[in-house]
């Protein structure tokens, strides 16, 4: 079953919990939490305090996407803040294997993300150690950008490798996903789709999430 991971980056932070309450009673199991440091990407979002503040009030899997340099520095802090998975960027550390091991040792799930210009073949040898591979379908840094069609081919390459090697690694796609293009990434092999502006920037957050699950039901 495909899962939707709505990105809180598009929430109104002056009333973040109200936006999250609007998701209650839908079929979502996780929320996507985008952390940006202004160095790895040209934008700054939020950090541990916001995550730990929403932790107690929301019984979702905290799917956390770190767009920060040298993420290995902060694994313990994110774990303390209550995240369930840390997805780091392949391009963000000199010692990506070391960073992956550190996250595993912390007892949380580990994901690895690649920017649009990174060749997915580079990370194939790492897939067996990962819970998730995240294909960025926009340049990371901002919500509301246009989906890059080239991502479809990357998803297919990863799907083929994962299936042929009988791996359990999930494929997530993030950036520019809308109700009218989500079918393409699912048909290419995505297990999880992130949508920010197409969920939290909409007036009817609950209705929008329901639309995604109706599409998922039609495809599978």
- Separation CA 55–CA 135 (nearest Å): 26
Give me the catalytic one of 19, 37, 63, 174. 174
- Separation CA 87–CA 100 (nearest Å): 9
- Cβ atoms within 10 A of the Cβ of 219, count? 10
- Of 187, 170, 28, the closest CA to residue 87 belongs to 170
32 is a contact residue toward ligand DX5 (CB under 6 A): yes
| Minimal distance, residue 105 CB to Zn ion, in Å | 24
Window 110-129: residues binding ligand DX5 (CB under 6 A): none
65 is a contact residue toward ligand DX5 (CB under 6 A): yes
Stretch that binds Zn ion, among 13-21, 58-66, 78-86, 159-167 (CB under 5 A): 58-66
Window 145-174: residues binding ligand DX5 (CB under 6 A): 145, 174
Count of residues touching ligand DX5 (by CB under 6 A): 21
> Which element (helix H / strand E) includes 77?
helix 75-81
- Exposed e or buried b for every residue in 127-160, given b needs 16+ CB within 10 A? beebbbbbbbbbebbbbeeebbeebbebbebbee
Binding site for Zn ion (CB under 5 A): 34, 65, 174
Active site residues: 34, 174
Binding site for ligand DX5 (CB under 6 A): 7, 9-10, 32, 34, 65, 138, 140-141, 143-145, 174-177, 194-198
């Amino acid at each position: 079953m495909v899962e939707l991971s709505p990105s809180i980056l598009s929430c109104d932070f002056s009333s973040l919990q109200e936006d999250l309450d609007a998701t209650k009673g839908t079929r979502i199991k996780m929320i996507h939490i985008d952390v940006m440091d202004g160095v790895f990407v040209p934008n700054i979002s939020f950090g541990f305090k916001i995550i730990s503040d929403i932790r107690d009030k929301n019984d979702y899997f905290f799917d956390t996407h770190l767009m920060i340099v040298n993420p290995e520095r902060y694994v313990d802090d994110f774990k303390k803040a209550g995240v369930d998975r840390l997805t780091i960027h392949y391009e963000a550390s000199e010692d990506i294997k070391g960073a992956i091991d550190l996250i595993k040792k912390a007892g949380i799930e580990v994901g690895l993300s690649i920017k649009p210009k990174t060749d997915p073949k580079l990370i194939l040898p790492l897939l067996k150690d990962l819970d998730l591979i995240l294909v960025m379908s926009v340049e990371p840094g901002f919500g509301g950008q246009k989906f890059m069609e080239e991502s479809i081919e990357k998803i297919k390459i990863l799907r083929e490798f994962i299936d042929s090697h009988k791996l359990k690694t999930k494929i997530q796609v993030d950036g520019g996903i809308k109700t009218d293009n989500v079918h393409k990434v699912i048909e290419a092999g995505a297990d999880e789709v992130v949508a920010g502006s197409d969920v939290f920037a909409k007036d009817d957050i609950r209705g929008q999430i329901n639309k995604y699950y109706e599409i998922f039901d039609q495809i599978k």
